[in-house]
A and B are shown apart, each in its own frame.
Chain A
Amino acid sequence: GAVVSQHPSWVICKSGTSVKIECRSLDFQATTMFWYRQFPKQSLMLMATSNEGSKATYEQGVEKDKFLINHASLTLSTLTVTSAHPEDSSFYICSARDVGTGEADTQYFGPGTRLTVL
Chain B
Amino acid sequence: GQNIDQPTEMTATEGAIVQINCTYQTSGFNGLFWYQQHAGEAPTFLSYNVLDGLEEKGRFSSFLSRSKGYSYLLLKELQMKDSASYLCAVMDSNYQLIWGAGTKLIIKP
Please tell me if A76 contacts chain B, counting CB pairs below 8 Å.
no
Surface stretch bound by B, among A12-20, A64-72, A108-116: A108-116
Contacts of B99 in A (CB 8 A): 43-44, 46
* Total A-B residue contacts, Cβ distance less than 8 Å: 46
Surface stretch bound by A, among B18-26, B42-50, B67-75, B76-84: B42-50
Q: How far is the CB of B31 from chain A (nearest CB, A)?
A: 7
The reply to whether A46 and B45 contact each other, CB–CB distance below 8 Å, is no
Consensus secondary structure, chain B interface: loop
Please tell me if B97 contacts chain A, counting CB pairs below 8 Å.
yes
Q: How far is the CB of A118 from chain B (nearest CB, A)?
A: 20
The reply to whether A43 and B100 contact each other, CB–CB distance below 8 Å, is yes
Please tell me if A82 contacts chain B, counting CB pairs below 8 Å.
no
In the assembled complex, the Cα of A2 lies from the Cα of B48 at a distance in Å of 15
The reply to whether B91 and A111 contact each other, CB–CB distance below 8 Å, is no
The reply to whether B31 and A105 contact each other, CB–CB distance below 8 Å, is yes
- Known contacts: A44-B43, A110-B42, A112-B42. The answer to whether A104 contacts B31 by CB under 8 A is yes
Interface centre among B31, B35, B43, B44 (most CB of A within 10 A): B43
Using C-beta atoms within 8 Å of the partner chain, give the interface range for chain A.
20 to 34
Contacts of B105 in A (CB 8 A): none
The reply to whether A103 and B42 contact each other, CB–CB distance below 8 Å, is no
Q: How far is the CB of A70 from chain B (nearest CB, A)?
A: 21
Please tell me if B33 contacts chain A, counting CB pairs below 8 Å.
yes
- Select which of A44, A106, A114 is within 8 A of B87 by beta carbon: A44
Render A81-118 as a binary contact track against B, CB cut-off 8 A, 1 for contact: 00000000001010000000001111111111010000
In the assembled complex, the Cα of A49 lies from the Cα of B44 at a distance in Å of 19
In the assembled complex, the Cα of A109 lies from the Cα of B30 at a distance in Å of 19
- Known contacts: A43-B87, A44-B99. The answer to whether A105 contacts B43 by CB under 8 A is no
24 interchain pairs, CB-CB under 8 A: A2-B45, A34-B97, A43-B87, A43-B99, A43-B101, A43-B102, A44-B43, A44-B87, A46-B97, A46-B99, A49-B96, A104-B30, A104-B31, A104-B50, A106-B33, A106-B48, A107-B45, A107-B97, A108-B45, A109-B35, A109-B42, A109-B43, A109-B44, A114-B40
